[in-house]
Copies of this chain bind each other. A is one copy, B any other.
Amino acid sequence: MVEQPSRTLGELAELVGAQLFGDAGRRIRSVGLLGKATGDEIGFCASARYLDQLRSTGAGAAVVREEHSQYCPTAALVVDDPYYAYAAIASALHPRERAAPGVHPSAIVASDAILEAGVAVGPHAVIGAGVRLGRGTEVGPGTFIGDGTRLGEDCWLANGVSIGADCSLGDRVMIHPGVIIGADGFGFAPGPQGWRKVPQLGAVRIGDDVDIGANSTIDRGALEDTVIGPGVKIDNLVHIAHNVHIGERTVIAGCTVVAGSTTIGSNCVIGGASAITGHIQIVDGATVTGMTGVTNHIREPGVYSSPLPAQPVREWRRNTVRFTQLDDMFRRVIKMERELEAVTGKQGKRGRSD
């Protein structure tokens, strides 16, 4: 970790709008864990689970909620949301290192590409015809940008990224290594001689402040564009198929797949390893927990789940066999209910599954 310039506690408190209890002039060089931080580091306590660590911390300061400040043995920055304030402080103390502006001599840049001020293009990058890179945008080593694609300002493309032709990215978009944006969607028409490729003529449009994790793929649309709204955060190894629309600030965790032409609303949270089928709509504000299969529209906000829990294999084997007999069992139970009712003469409850 490169050593960063320090800040005073007063500066940090002002940065996050905190009430400061302690020496405003104290210099902080780094963030740290409460249990390990030293005097020039600042920790944070976002939950009562960490109160023990807070009580004994050696940190020079801690970001805490008001009700925890009494347990803070060092300077305290009191805020409503310590984790959010920590994110801001960590970003200030550990800013992303920026590449020096300029084009590495080994990069291949089309003669008509437009590189605005402060753009950096790394070794072996390839920039196609008609590409436009906004002010301050960085393109990492070996990254490929296809013809006609436009990036906004202050984007960061890591090494080994691939962006197909005619796509557009907003400002401050961060793309991690190995991401593939704008490859062909999976479109084939069945016919007598097998599958015939359907040209994928749309592109990918990505809004401002989007973050896409390593080795994820976002395919171009078939006739219209695949659209990723502003503020969307996508983790590693996620696949977004053609014509998908994802609303602003939605978060998608690792190894999830979203099949073609599905629309996910704004402010959704999609857990990792989930599979979302094609041609459905998910309402704004839905949460899908990890490893969930979404096979139908979600029309009401709320939390949705489907995975079974891991069980010891012997129990799992018995229960899964029973699962395959479930409908038969339901029918037998319903029949018994009727017989028992006849015996007892009472009106049994008849459930929805009759």
Contact = CB atoms under 8 A, between A and B. Distances in A.
Interface in A287-335: 288-296, 298, 302-313, 315-330, 332-333, 335
Contacts of A33: 223-224
A18 to B, nearest CB: 14
Contacts of A305: 310-311, 313, 316-317
26 contacts: A1-B201, A31-B199, A33-B223, A84-B196, A86-B189, A87-B187, A87-B196, A91-B199, A124-B124, A124-B126, A144-B159, A144-B160, A144-B177, A183-B236, A188-B251, A272-B275, A290-B295, A294-B310, A295-B309, A304-B312, A305-B317, A306-B309, A309-B320, A319-B325, A319-B326, A336-B336
A117 interface: no
Interface string A209-228: 10101110101000110000
A128 to B, nearest CB: 9
A277 B325 CA distance: 23
A217 B237 contact: yes
A307 B293 contact: yes
Contact of A315 (B164, B249, B324, B329): B324
A142 B123 CA distance: 10
Contact of A304 (B177, B306, B313): B313
Nearest to A286: B310
A183 B313 CA distance: 32
A306 B315 contact: no
Given A195-B249, A291-B293, A322-B326, 16 more contacts: A33-B223, A88-B196, A90-B198, A160-B180, A178-B178, A186-B233, A186-B253, A235-B241, A239-B254, A273-B293, A294-B310, A305-B316, A319-B326, A322-B329, A329-B333, A336-B340
Nearest to A336: B340
A339 interface: yes
A153 to B, nearest CB: 17
A177 B215 CA distance: 11
Interface stretch (A21-29, A50-58, A67-75, A346-354): A346-354
Number of copies: 3
B333 A333 contact: yes
A327 B318 contact: yes
Contacts of A211: 188, 197
Interface string A71-104: 0000000000101101110110010100000001
Contacts of A224: 33
Interface in A107-147: 108, 122-124, 126, 140-142, 144
A126 B125 CA distance: 11
B194 A231 contact: yes
A259 interface: yes
A310 to B, nearest CB: 4
A176 interface: yes
Contact of A233 (B124, B158, B188): B188
